[in-house]
Amino acid sequence: MAWLIVALVLVVAAAGLLLWRRPAWYWLTFGVTLAAVRVLVRYGSVMDACGLTVPAPRWRLTVARMTNRPVPGPRAPRILRLRVTRTGLVLRLKLRPGQDAFDVAASCDRLRHSFAMYGVTSRELRSGVVELRMTGYDVLKRVQMPAHVDSRPMRVPVALREDGAVHYRDYRAVPHGLVIGATESGKSVYQRNLVAALAPQRVALVGIDCKQGVELFPLARRFSALADNPDTAAELLDALVSHMQDVYQLIRAEQRITADVPDAEIAADIWDLPEDLRPVPIVVLVDEVAELALFATKDEEKRRDRIITALARLAQLGRAAGIYLEVCGQRFGSELGKGITMLRAQLTGRTAHRVNDEASANMAFGDIAPDAVLAAISIPTDTPGVAIAADSAGGWARVRTPHTSLRHAVNVCNRHADLTPDLPALAPFRPALGTLAPVPAPAVESTPAAA
Ligand SMILES: Nc1ncnc2c1ncn2[C@@H]1O[C@H](COP(=O)(O)OP(=O)(O)OP(=O)(O)O)[C@@H](O)[C@H]1O
């Protein structure tokens, strides 16, 4: 008997220690079973207490009365599926007549503490079916990406969402993005994650880094073109615009051929072209965009107008030619001069890290997801990398990137250096690798993903 008590004390102590030091391990060992039992046992009473039940249908009450059976109680949404994940539980519910998804969304906070979970969010999957995602612990505290993620061409995992799901940057769905945040908020680490995730794909990376190239030049082996000052940036952007025009000519030529072939697909963008003809897609990463928009002299003003015009043209027309923009800066508002708000309107994938004021949050979300503004200004200073990600559909989520070091990103880029495409139009901007320190990549290197 004594040994049983000792074993029990040891198990409880181990669980307590894991809960305190390694919540992710606690969840996988003890937490998941306890939480699943708790949710299933308390389900009916919690739903009733949260106002998520409806009275039994009249015919059942009548039948009960006529047959002298007990009167049936109120009914909660039917559980279609309970799925256990690495970070929590996912409950799929079929709503009862008279209920709607908004009722469930409005009760998320009550469900969170009634089920003793860390977080609960809901979304409507289809009419009458709602998914409740519950997290067992603060998944953003120490981000661990799942070992297997659903990477596809031009869709890469970049962060973890607070509901435990992976946040993807999908260039084909949302071609251009804007990343803003105060200094030290995590923008560079976000960009680093993007580069590391894109590096193994068939894509050309182009970088403009006016912080003297400190962020992007170490990753140069995987970049087809780089600029580290506004003069080179202006020329590089002009070269990209003429490359875009060439791609349009290619699409036109292909359209002329297919127009005469009955039932043949007519290409509208590079993705409709046959694979052997398809130009390589390009992601253009711009770090500290304000450096490109500031000027002190007349000549610098002309250069600035040239840069903003080229960026606006790429943002307006680049998608079909497979050119995608990822613009990064501390602020991106009308105070940077003419053309900025027009350019910003085209950058519909928005990510805001911690910002210093409401005006900056409004720059990111005021026009597409006003609800996200408050969330962006409430990001605490001691959680760099936490951001609000939204798109023009109005949805938003709190996300955090894994803490990818520059060393890790450099290693990934070096390992995939042979995938760097040579684009003749951008050849003058190809970084001179001789000037880089030789950094041999290890043959195999662990990623920050969870085992
Ligand atoms: N996801 C993350 N998890 C933990 N720490 C992070 C994360 N992202 C960034 N940090 C830390 O926050 C600090 C600032 O990050 P980063 O350099 O990316 O900020 P920034 O917004 O680019 O700053 P600046 O504008 O001054 O260049 C760094 O010390 C970095 O290690």
Q: What is the mean pLDDT of residues 380-387?
A: 92
Say what the pTM is.
Answer: 0.83
Give the residue extent of every domain in the chain: 2-135, 155-435
Q: What is the mean pLDDT of residues 414-437?
A: 84
Residue 384 Cβ inside 6 Å of ligand 1? The answer reads: yes
Atom of ligand 1 nearest to the CA of 405: 31
What digits encode the pLDDT tens for the residues 23-51?
A: 777 787 888 899 999 999 999 999 999 99
For residues 440 and 434, what is the distance between their CA atoms, to the nearest angstrom? 14
Read off the pLDDT of residues 353-374 as tens digits, 9 standing for 90 and up.
999 888 888 888 887 788 788 8
Q: Does ligand 1 come within 6 angstroms of the Cβ of 354? A: no
231 neighbors 443 (Cβ within 8 angstroms): no
331 CB within 6 A, ligand 1: no
Those residues with Cβ within 8 angstroms of residue 434's Cβ, 6 or more apart along the chain or in another chain: none
Strand partners, 283: 205, 324
CA of 184 to the centre of ligand 1 (A): 5
- Residue showing tokens 């000027």: 295
The dihedrals phi and psi of 54, each to the nearest 5 degrees, come to -125, 150
Distance 385 CA to ligand 1 centre (A): 6
Name the band, by pLDDT with cuts 50, 70 and 90, for residue 147: confident
Residue nearest to atom 23 of ligand 1 (CA): 184
Q: Is the pLDDT of residue 324 over 50?
A: yes
- Please report the atom of ligand 1 found closest to the CA of residue 330: 25
| Chain centroid to CA 164 | 12
8-state DSSP, 295:
-
Q: Mind listing the pLDDT tens digit for each residue in 44-86?
A: 999 999 999 998 888 888 888 888 888 778 899 999 999 998 8
Which ligand 1 atom lies nearest to the CA of residue 159?
1
314 close to ligand 1 (CB < 6 Angstrom) = no
- Tell me the per-residue pLDDT of 256-310, one tens digit each, with 9 for 90 and over: 888 777 777 888 899 999 888 899 999 999 998 888 888 888 888 899 999 999 9
Phi, psi of 131, rounded to the nearest 5 degrees: -110, 125
**Among 208-212, 249-253, 313-317, whose mean pLDDT is lowest?**
208-212
Kindly indicate whether the ipTM for this predicted assembly is greater than 0.90, answering yes or no: yes
CA atoms within 13 A on the CB side of 160: 21
Cβ atoms of residues 283 and 204 within 8 Å: yes
- CB of 385 within 6 A of ligand 1: the answer is yes
Report the run of H or E that residue 170 belongs to, with start and end: strand 166-170
Higher pLDDT, 364 or 222: 222
Cα→Cα distances 287→212, 290, 428, Å: 10, 9, 20
DSSP, collapsed to helix, strand or coil, labels residue 158 as strand
With the most atoms of ligand 1 within 8 angstroms of its CB, the residue from 141, 160, 184, 192 to mutate is: 184
Q: Rounded to an integer, what distance in angstroms lies between the CA atom of residue 210 and that of residue 215?
A: 9
Q: How far is the CA of 406 from the centre of ligand 1 (A)?
A: 11
- Binding residues for ATP are 181-188
- CB of 401 within 6 A of ligand 1: the answer is yes
Give the pLDDT confidence score for residue 394 in this predicted structure.
67
pLDDT for residue 438 is more than 60: no
State the average pLDDT for the chain. Answer: 88
- In 386-426 the beta strands, taken as DSSP E runs, fall at 386-390, 396-400
- Determine the distance separating the centroid of ligand 1 and the alpha carbon of 186, expressed in angstroms: 3
Least confident of 128-137, 143-152, 214-223: 143-152
State how beta strands 223-227 and 204-209 pair: parallel
CA 357/CA 294 separation, integer angstroms: 21
Q: Which atom of ligand 1 is nearest to the CA of 288?
A: 25
| Pairing state between β 129-135 and 119-126 | antiparallel
Q: What is the pLDDT of residue 448?
A: 45
Q: What is the pLDDT of residues 387-421, one digit of tens each?
A: 999 876 667 889 999 999 999 999 999 999 999 99
Percent of the chain residues past pLDDT 90, beyond the cut: 52
CA–CA separation, 434 and 221 (whole Å): 10
184 in ligand 1 pocket by Cβ < 6 Å?
yes
Residue 126 has pLDDT above 70, yes or no: yes
Q: For position 451, what pLDDT does the model report?
A: 32
Q: What is the CATH number of domain 155-435?
A: 3.40.50.300
Q: Is 155 in the pocket of ligand 1 (CB under 6 A)?
A: no
